[in-house]
Amino acid sequence: MTAINAEDEVVGLCRDLIRIDSTNAGDNSGPGERAAAEYVAEKLAEVGLEPKILESDSRRANVVARIAGEDSSRDALLLHGHLDVVPFNAADWTQHPLSGEIVDGCVWGRGAVDMKNMDAMILAVVRQRLAEGRRPPRDVVLAFTADEEAGGNYGAQWLADEHKSLFDGCSEAIGEVGGFSVSIDEARRLYLIEAAEKGIAWMRLTATGRAGHGSMLNAENAVTELAEAVGRIGRYEWPVRMTRTVRTFLEETSRVLELELDLDDAEKTVAKLGPLARMIGATLRNTANPTMLEAGYKANVIPQTAIAHVDGRFLPGYEDEFFETLDELLGPNVTREFVYHDIAIETGFDGPLVRAMADALLAEDPGALAVPYTLSGGTDLKAFSRLGIRGFGFAPLRLPADLDFSGMFHGIDERVPVDSLRFGVRVLDRFLDGC
């Protein structure tokens, strides 16, 4: 087999993947992930793996492959990345989002951050290791999924329901939205590793009243009823709830930044975190934001019903409290139903896998400090957690201090520095040695 250098190869893999259109608008109308899946499968087959392409629907393709480790009696590790990306408006971008251009030392394009960068890093590392005959210490399962950006019904959720056996023996996983650096000063960087995710509750609220003429007395006006409920929900101040991930994050960062930590006033500490405050602030409490309103069709007609949508997010361990509170805020005359509902997850920031991540970072960046954090959104990890897998967001990237990386998820001008990709490959390689 010809020699493969992952650090050299990762950039080309990332550019190739960006150029394959796999946008996912959420209505199953797009190009699908088939072309990207075929590309990935070919790259894996070239180094002797036997990847399976699994289609959940026409062109909605997933790729799963298993690498035999030195000790297959140990539990396996899952490495997962999604192949779809969110849509874009090309006119807003400096470089075309499907170009994969390299400008100013960065690879540009939709997916450069979320998450064709990590897909490319996984591919590059695995290819070099297999070409060199370096097996991981335990079995590693690779999953490249469809449809993460729309809830995973054609991707991870479907795999977890229909193809469980592909993940036999997997106890741990690493995936997206974590492992990137946030600079403290010249010498030190925090690497935020995702150890928890908030749960999701998108809800449709319906108030039903008595329809009638707008000139008449009407004490059962659905619009009034709904508006009051929406107002109560939108203005409610959810109490701060300290989860173990947030506590560990605050303890560690306060220590490093030499901030005074008052766990009874966590918001004060978070406010001092600068750009991190935006990411961390929403993980101190449940939230429920009204997002859509719909009622009526004429100024002098009181409609029978009025509808609103609310985006609810609950912390791990606080789902019951979330819905109890929400039902009180709704009042007796407004009902709710789910548009989308998924679990919250959390795992402890301890054990050999966490050490392997922290050690691999430290070996490549002596100023690295790995800290856990809670993601306010969701990833494929929710689906894989249903198979009993504990997971982390760990797509390691050492980033320039002035790059607003978290702001580029689903944003315009998504780009990832070439040097960061090369760094990530080195870290992942060490991590796989130590996993």
Binding site for Zn ion (CB under 5 A): 114-115, 176
DSSP state of 87: -
With respect to Zn ion, which residue has the nearer C-beta, 158 or 322? 158
Q: 111 or 312: whose CB is closer to Zn ion?
A: 111
Rounded CA separation 54/52 (Å): 6
CB of 82 vs Zn ion, minimal distance in Å: 6
What does each C-alpha distance from 21 to 85, 213, 388 come to in angstroms? Answer: 8, 52, 33
Q: How far is the CB of 360 from Zn ion (least distance, A)?
A: 22
User: What's the min distance (Å) between Cβ of 401 and Zn ion?
Assistant: 23
Give the type of residue at 223: V
Rank residues 115 and 280 by Cβ distance to Zn ion and give the closer one: 115
Angle at 77 (CA atoms; ends 73, 80), nearest 5 degrees: 150
Closest approach of Zn ion to the CB of residue 210, in Å? 46
Instruction: Supply the minimum distance, in Å, between the C-beta of residue 3 and Zn ion.
Output: 32
Q: Cα angle vertex 393, ends 387, 398, to 5°?
A: 160
CA distance 434 to 428: 10
HSE on the CB side for 201, CA within 13 Å?
Answer: 20
CB of 79 to Zn ion, least distance (A): 14
The smaller minimum CB distance to Zn ion, of residues 154 and 322, is found at 154
Cα dist from 85 to 25, 105, 173, whole Å: 9, 22, 21
Cβ proximity of 71 and 138 under 8 Å: yes
85 secondary structure, DSSP code: B
Query: Dihedrals φ, ψ of 50, to 5°?
Result: -120, 75
Choice between 279 and 308, CB closer to Zn ion: 279
Residue nearer to Zn ion on the CB measure, 115 or 266: 115
| Shortest Cβ 384–Zn ion spacing (Å) | 14
Q: Which residue is nearest to Zn ion (CB)?
A: 114
Nearer to Zn ion, 130 or 345 (CB): 345
Nearest distance, CB of residue 406 and Zn ion, angstroms: 12
DSSP state of 91: G
Q: Using an 8 Å Cβ cutoff, are 54 and 61 in contact? A: yes
- 37 closest CA partner among 123, 108, 99: 123
**Taking Cα atoms as reference points, which of 250, 256, 286 lies closest to residue 268?**
250
**In the complex with Zn ion, which residue's Cβ is closer, 97 or 303?**
97
